[in-house]
């Protein structure tokens, strides 16, 4: 498959469903060898791999909990063994528990920070040295607009992690730009994905649509297209930035 990412290897965490799945499928269509990653649902990961392989793409599935540094080390090593050096890393794993501040236990806090922020650091930690040596690389962090607006109550841990993720984006961009590595954030707004209803009892779609300039929800492919722009040569002069894909709900 020839395309804008031909010859590149991409690792996409949390790519068994929703936004990660859309990114994996699009990157593969554009010629990348894709590592599909999940933690708890092997069947989802295998399904995405089959979708890619069945249309002539290159993909493998690797199960790893990216909140664990040792498992990330293994994930990157297996990716390199299968396809060579990792050129593109998309950090897409995220948990969005809804708890009042006083309900958040120390363990809740640590778990959310581990999954939503530390995981991005771990992936970068293991892929950046080779990117630097090769003089080319792309780090793409999937944040969330609540990390920029703080508009949703009872998500202190997630808001903190997502804001920190963009801080990490900028730090990597500043330090690694000289080596041909870019680092950027994509912040999805209201996207039509499969969600845990228990965490969205506060969510009134009619009220949200009223706030949007574009009066419908986005879909995972909208996020994937933003990532593709950043991942290819089209994004070579973009670094340390955030692309808000939110239908105009918030304008920065």
Q: Give pLDDT, residue 194.
A: 76
Burial track 143-178 (b if 16+ CB lie within 10 A, e otherwise): bbbbbbbeeeebbbbbbbbbbbbbebbbebbeebee
Evaluate whether residue 2 is within a structural domain: no
Q: What is the pLDDT of residue 146?
A: 86
Of residues 146 and 91, more confidently modeled: 91
Q: Locate all alpha helices (DSSP H) within the chain, ordered by sequence.
A: 18-29, 42-53, 69-83, 106-113, 119-134, 146-149, 156-176, 205-211, 220-231
How many separate domains does the chain show?
A: 1
| pLDDT tens-digit readout, 50-102 | 999 999 999 999 999 999 999 999 999 999 999 999 999 999 998 888 999 99
Per-residue pLDDT of 223-250, as tens digits, reads 999 999 999 999 999 999 999 999 999 9
Tokens of 121: 């650091």
Whether the pLDDT of residue 199 is over 70: the answer is no
Please list, in sequence order, all residues whose beta carbon lies within 8 angstroms of the beta carbon of residue 204, skipping any fewer than 6 positions away: none
**83 in a structural domain:** yes
Radius of gyration of the chain (CA): 17
Least confident of 95-99, 109-113, 176-180: 95-99
What region, left, alpha or beta, does residue 191 occupy, with left being phi > 0 and alpha being psi -120 to 50 degrees?
beta
Summarised one tens digit per residue, pLDDT across range 58-70 is 999 999 999 999 9
Query: Is residue 192 in a domain?
Result: yes
Domain that holds residue 38: 9-245
Rounded CA-CA distance 63/190 in Å is: 28
pLDDT at site 205: 80
CB 180 within 8 A of CB 136: yes
Determine the average pLDDT of the residues in 208-228. 94
Residue 1: band (very low, low, confident or very high) from pLDDT cuts 50, 70, 90: low
Query: Residue 3 falls within a domain, yes or no?
Result: no
**Angle at alpha carbon of residue 242, lines to 67 and 111, rounded to 5°:** 20
Q: Is the pLDDT of residue 206 over 90?
A: no
- 8 A C-beta contact, residue 139 and residue 185: no
**Nearest-angstrom CA–CA distance, 174 and 171:** 5
Q: Is residue 250 part of a domain?
A: no
Q: Which residues of 81-90 are buried (b: 16+ CB within 10 A; e: fewer)?
A: eebebbbbbb
How many angstroms separate the CA atoms of 42 and 110, rounded? 25
The pLDDT of residue 21 is 98
Residue 200 has pLDDT above 60, yes or no: no
Looking at every residue in the chain, the average pLDDT score rounds to 94
Higher-pLDDT residue of 197 and 73 is 73
CA-CA distance, 157 to 137, in Å (whole number)?
30
pTM above 0.75, yes or no: yes
- Looking at residue 101, which CATH number applies to its domain? 3.40.50.720
107: in domain: yes
pLDDT at position 2: 76
> Which of residues 141 and 145 earns the better pLDDT score?
141
In a domain, 165, yes or no: yes
Work out whether strand 33-38 and strand 58-63 pair parallel, antiparallel, or are unpaired.
parallel
| pLDDT given for residue 201 in this prediction | 60
Examine the pLDDT at 221 and tell me if it is beyond 80: yes
Is residue 173 scored above 60 in pLDDT?
yes
pLDDT of residue 89: 99
């Amino acid at each position: 498959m020839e395309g804008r990412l031909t010859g590149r290897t991409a690792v996409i965490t949390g790519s068994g469903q929703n936004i990660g799945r859309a990114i994996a499928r699009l990157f593969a269509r554009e010629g990348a060898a894709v590592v599909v990653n999940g933690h708890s649902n092997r069947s989802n990961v295998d399904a995405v791999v089959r979708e890619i392989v069945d249309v002539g793409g290159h993909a493998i599935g690797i199960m790893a909990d990216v909140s664990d540094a040792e498992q990330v080390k293994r994930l990157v090593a297996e990716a390199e063994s299968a396809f060579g050096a990792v050129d593109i890393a998309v950090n897409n794993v995220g948990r969005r528990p809804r708890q009042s501040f006083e309900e958040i236990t120390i363990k809740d806090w640590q778990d959310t920070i581990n999954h939503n922020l530390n995981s991005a650091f771990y992936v970068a930690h293991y892929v950046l040295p080779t990117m630097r040596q090769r003089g080319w690389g792309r780090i793409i962090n999937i944040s969330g607009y609540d990390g920029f607006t703080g508009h949703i109550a009872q998500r202190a841990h997630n808001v903190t992690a997502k804001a920190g993720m963009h801080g990490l984006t900028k730090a990597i961009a500043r330090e690694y730009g000289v080596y041909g590595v870019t680092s950027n954030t994509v912040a999805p707004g209201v996207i039509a994905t499969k969600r845990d209803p228990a965490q969205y009892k506060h969510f009134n779609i009619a009220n949200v649509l009223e706030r949007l300039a574009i009066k419908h929800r986005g879909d995972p492919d909208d996020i994937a297209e933003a990532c593709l722009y950043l991942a290819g040569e089209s994004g070579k002069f973009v670094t340390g930035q955030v692309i808000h894909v939110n239908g105009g709900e918030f304008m920065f």
